[in-house]
Amino acid sequence: MIDIRFDNKEFDLKNGLKLITVKKDTELFSIDIGIKIGAYYENDKNRGISHFIEHMLFKGTKKRNNEQLNKELEFLGGEYNAYTNYNTTVFNVSCLKEECRNAVELLGDMVMNSVFDEEEMKREKGVVISEIRSARDDVAEFSANQAFNYAFERSPLRYEVAGFEDIVSGFTRDELLEYYKNNYTPDNTVITVVSPFDHRTVYNMISDEFSQWTGTCSIDRSIIREDNKNEEFVSCRKDIEQSTITIIYSFIDLDKEDELALKILNHQLGESANSILFRELREKRGLVYDIYTDLDLCHNAKTLCIYTATHDSKVEEAKDAIFKCIEEVKNEKIIFNERTLELMKKVHKTSVISTFEDGSDLGNYILTQNLEGQNIYEFLEDMNKLERLDSADIYKVARKILNKPTVYMLRGSDTDE
């Protein structure tokens, strides 16, 4: 049993900004800024705007132009990055502790003072459109995007985070500014800092930079949530060597208490290097090079996706083999014994310790948990639950969610379809 506790403290600034500080024995300063805005909250007229604004925040502020901003970020000597998903937009920096104030000031300048220069916008549209096109060239990513598009009728999950070429190319500066001002606000933002400094020092540092930030978020938080379609879809591409199979299950009403059993199921089914699907389709049948699962437990998503690729002549055999494995799990023909649970305890413990030891990972984990409205000590709760979990719980969750899939197949050039 492990009992890792962070030396953490939460602060609420007067303008609504939430700050979570972690004091840790480290020589690095890691800061994450999470804005609760992403692809879920877009509409048919502005798909991709959250992602585009993420890009534009690196393109110049009232104090620094594009070149100056990125040179100063680089001169921190560490790592800086950003990402946008369906729920959030996140900016992070990890650097030497002596660069802490520079990191805070640079991120604060980006988040609060970006100018959305017209010429920079034109150039960045080309960059994002290239990113969208690249996703079409990546067969695995293309297949997943297509599968989600077929799986849902109205949910934002059917749309790519980066948006569509025609919409992105039509963004105006006024449109970006309005969206930015309505959503990039202190009451819609969480900051996490992992550093060797005491909590009050970090609070003062953040407060000095962000306390003058004003604005109130006006976003409509209502989201369309729906089950995936229980149908099979096929499309063809002549420029690929292998056909792909993507299978999606959604479970929007899954109880929180079932999530740990689902994590174990996912690990055994297709996440581990020695998974059930890998052993059956690659090692036993020689049908595929790789097969894997992807589990998303975000509160508005909750999906399990299975992906593989094979020669077109083997598509039906591979698909049948996947569903044979799933049925054998549900019918308890595949055994989850004490050794399985013991393995998962080791995997979970390794993951927890790895996250704790890396300040950047720890900060991002705490940020994500907070943005999702979850307890930052959920990993400890899971460890305690693992002690009580048995195989019946795993079979129960398998029977609950592994039903009515969306199946999407991208057939290769050998298809007769």
The residue ranges of every structural domain in the chain are 7-210, 232-411
Q: pLDDT of 382-401, one tens digit each?
A: 888 888 889 999 999 999 99
Contact 209, 103 (CB under 8 A): no
Query: pLDDT band for position 413 (50/70/90)?
Result: low
Q: pLDDT of 93-119, one tens digit each?
A: 999 999 999 999 999 999 999 999 999
Dist. CA 283–CA 142, nearest whole Å: 26
Give the number of residues written for the chain.
Answer: 417
Q: pLDDT of 262-305, one tens digit each?
A: 999 999 999 988 999 999 999 999 999 999 999 999 878 899 99
DSSP secondary structure string, 189-210? EEEEEEESS-HHHHHHHHHHHH
Q: pLDDT of 129-139, one tens digit each?
A: 999 999 999 99
Token digits of residue 9: 């403290």
One-letter amino acid at 137 equals D
Class of domain 7-210: alpha beta
3-state secondary structure of 333: coil
Dist. CA 134–CA 143, nearest whole Å: 13
Whether pTM > 0.85 for this model: the answer is yes
Q: Average pLDDT of the chain? A: 94
The CATH number of 232-411 is 3.30.830.10
Dist. CA 352–CA 343, nearest whole Å: 14
Whether the per-residue pLDDT at 417 is higher than 60: the answer is no
Residue 342: how many other CB atoms lie within 10 Å: 11
Query: pLDDT band for position 1 (50/70/90)?
Result: low
DSSP secondary structure string, 280-330? IIIIIT---S-EEEEEE--TTT-EEEEEEEE-GGGHHHHHHHHHHHHHHHH
User: What's the pLDDT score for residue 204?
Assistant: 98
Residue that is written with structure tokens 């620094």 in the block = 64
Whether the per-residue pLDDT at 65 is higher than 80: the answer is yes
Q: How far is CA 302 from CA 137, 225, 227, 297, 305, in A?
A: 27, 10, 10, 5, 10
Question: What 8-state DSSP symbol labels residue 269?
Answer: I
Contact 296, 148 (CB under 8 A): no
Dist. CA 276–CA 280, nearest whole Å: 6
